[in-house]
């Protein structure tokens, strides 16, 4: 999936400053940890950071402390959304 930056004045879309973290998050999108909650329900715990490191390395994505923090912010929001309902 290729993501293109939007004009920073746009009311929707991805701002260019957020693209590196979003690309990193999407590259690691298969690295979620889930736990069984009974009755066939699952709960997202978060990303498996060991798997994330491998995924980012394989994708050729270098992270900075800022990208890592931004990626964790995306993870928290995604985990909340996954666990709703």
Domain assignment present for 3: no
Domain assignment present for 75: yes
Domain assignment present for 7: no
Averaged pLDDT of the chain: 90
Alpha-carbon distance of 47 to 58, in angstroms, equals 17
Enclosing domain of residue 79 = 20-83
Give pLDDT tens digits for 41-65: 999 999 999 999 999 999 999 999 9
- Mean pLDDT (whole number) for 23-50: 96
Alpha-carbon distance of 68 to 20, in angstroms, equals 10
How many domains does the chain fold into? 1
- pLDDT value at 3 more than 90: no
């Amino acid at each position: 999936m290729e993501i293109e930056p939007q004009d920073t004045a746009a009311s929707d879309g991805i701002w260019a400053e957020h693209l590196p973290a979003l690309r990193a998050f999407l590259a690691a999108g298969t690295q979620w940890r889930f736990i069984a909650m009974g009755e066939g329900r699952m709960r997202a715990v978060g990303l498996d950071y060991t798997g994330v490191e491998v995924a980012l390395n394989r994708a050729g994505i270098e992270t900075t402390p800022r990208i890592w923090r931004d990626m964790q912010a995306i993870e928290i929001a995604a985990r909340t959304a996954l666990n709703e309902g």
